[in-house]
Chain A
Amino acid sequence: MAKVVVVTSGKGGVGKTTSTAALGAALAQSGERVVVVDFDVGLRNLDLIMGAERRVVFDLINVIQGDAKLTQALIRDKRLENLMLLPASQTRDKDALTGEGVARVIAELRESFDWVLCDSPAGIERGALLAMHHADIAVVVTNPEVSSVRDSDRIIGMLDSTTERAERGERIEKHLLLTRYDPARAQRGDMLSVEDVLEILSIPLLGIIPESQEVLRASNVGSPVTLNAPVSAPARAYSDAVRRLRGEIVEMTIPSDKIGLVARLFGRRVA
């Protein structure tokens, strides 16, 4: 049975697109058939983070409006054959995304994939609501910072009230993905700690992604961080998160780039 996952946050710029790409690639690496869908109509970026920007021909809106078939719009990843991208359109017409159209596309994607990952736009408007509407699972991306936590709380409320599952009286699985975390600053008491955020939002923790320059480096070259720098701290954190998504029980750690460096040097010497 296919699982539809929305990667959402309310607040902008907290790491939704980065996380969608990294989780999608890590899921595909573990053998699952994965499609990542960009719902950020007008501000598409997932294509760029995935390194597929020059291969976009048709997009989600073209499929919804019947100008292209789903198979024409899907872009296969160059590195992983079981990873696909459905890009967003650059149109400024937000009404192009219809509830009925989205329902049709998601239903069709469920047929051919194990995982459908939806990269939500920021905000609590139509686009964000449509991105979460068909989700079975929500990954709530949050930075350890007051405005991000507040917006996540708002999004959690909407997940529980406006989604298809909520309307059917079913529960939607919600997970917290804490990103851009800096353990040293939290230790000093200058940043909300993991415990603080968990206590406030009270949803289960999927993973802690440390702040790392590897994320920017990966975006520069257009490759999800889990593929571009697999032993880096954020990549290991995303891979652990994916194992948890697949139901494995994995000890919660905050990977550090320093350990990663040691492991890399060590690995090289052995080889």
Chain B
Amino acid sequence: MNGFLSFFRKRPTANLARERLQILLSHERASAGQEGLVNTLREEILAVIAKHIHVNRDQVQVKVERHGEASILEIDVTMPVHRMTLPT
């Protein structure tokens, strides 16, 4: 009887909504965290480079590329050779 009625009743959907959100947001939070990490890295790398070389912000590029399981951190610095000051 119960089974017969439930055949006509629509199944509750809120559980599915919650599960889908939990999975999606755990991914989105992780990638937002990585975005934050890249920003922190960029700022700190810039600060280190600025101690020794005069560079503009846009001459330093920091990015992380996903390659399957691993990620590659790429740092690209354009150095104006003539203005380089040697570390003491």
Interface flags, A137-180, vs B, CB<8A=1, else 0:
00000000110011001100100010000000000000000000
Is the pair B29, A191 in contact by a Cβ cutoff of 8 Å? no
Indicate if B28 sits at the interface (CB-CB under 8 A): yes
Of B17-25, B52-60, B67-75, B79-87, which binds chain A?
B17-25
In the assembled complex, which residues on chain A have CB atoms less than 8 Å from the CB atom of B21? 146, 149-150, 200
Indicate if A188 sits at the interface (CB-CB under 8 A): yes
Is the pair B24, A150 in contact by a Cβ cutoff of 8 Å? yes
In the assembled complex, which residues on chain A have CB atoms less than 8 Å from the CB atom of B17? 145-146, 192, 196
User: Nearest-CB distance from B69 to chain A (Å)?
Assistant: 25
* Beta-carbon nearest neighbor of B9 in chain A: A188
Is the pair B29, A157 in contact by a Cβ cutoff of 8 Å? yes
Is the pair B14, A157 in contact by a Cβ cutoff of 8 Å? no
Report the interface size for chain B: residues with CB under 8 A from the other chain: 16
Indicate if A186 sits at the interface (CB-CB under 8 A): yes
Is the pair A200, B13 in contact by a Cβ cutoff of 8 Å? no
In the assembled complex, which residues on chain A have CB atoms less than 8 Å from the CB atom of B24? 150
In the assembled complex, which residues on chain B have CB atoms less than 8 Å from the CB atom of A157? 29, 32
> Given that A153-B28, A153-B29 are known contacts, is A186 also in contact with B22, CB under 8 Å in the complex?
no
Is the pair B14, A190 in contact by a Cβ cutoff of 8 Å? yes
User: Nearest-CB distance from B86 to chain A (Å)?
Assistant: 35
Is the pair B18, A196 in contact by a Cβ cutoff of 8 Å? yes
* Beta-carbon nearest neighbor of A147 in chain B: B21
Indicate if A193 sits at the interface (CB-CB under 8 A): yes
Question: How far, in angstroms, from A157 to B25 measured CA to CA in the complex?
Answer: 11
Interface flags, A72-103, vs B, CB<8A=1, else 0:
00000000000000000000000000000000
User: Nearest-CB distance from B10 to chain A (Å)?
Assistant: 8
Is the pair B13, A190 in contact by a Cβ cutoff of 8 Å? yes
Is the pair B25, A200 in contact by a Cβ cutoff of 8 Å? yes
In the assembled complex, which residues on chain A have CB atoms less than 8 Å from the CB atom of B32? 154, 157
Indicate if A189 sits at the interface (CB-CB under 8 A): yes
Is the pair B14, A154 in contact by a Cβ cutoff of 8 Å? no
> Given that A153-B25, A157-B29 are known contacts, is A192 also in contact with B18, CB under 8 Å in the complex?
yes
Binding site for B on A (CB under 8 A): 145-146, 149-150, 153-154, 157, 161, 186, 188-193, 196, 199-200
Binding site for A on B (CB under 8 A): 10, 12-15, 17-18, 20-22, 24-25, 28-29, 32, 36
A-B contacts besides A146-B20, A200-B18, 20 pairs, CB < 8 Å? A145-B17, A146-B17, A150-B21, A150-B28, A154-B28, A186-B14, A189-B12, A189-B14, A189-B15, A190-B10, A190-B13, A191-B14, A192-B17, A192-B18, A193-B14, A196-B17, A199-B18, A200-B21, A200-B22, A200-B25
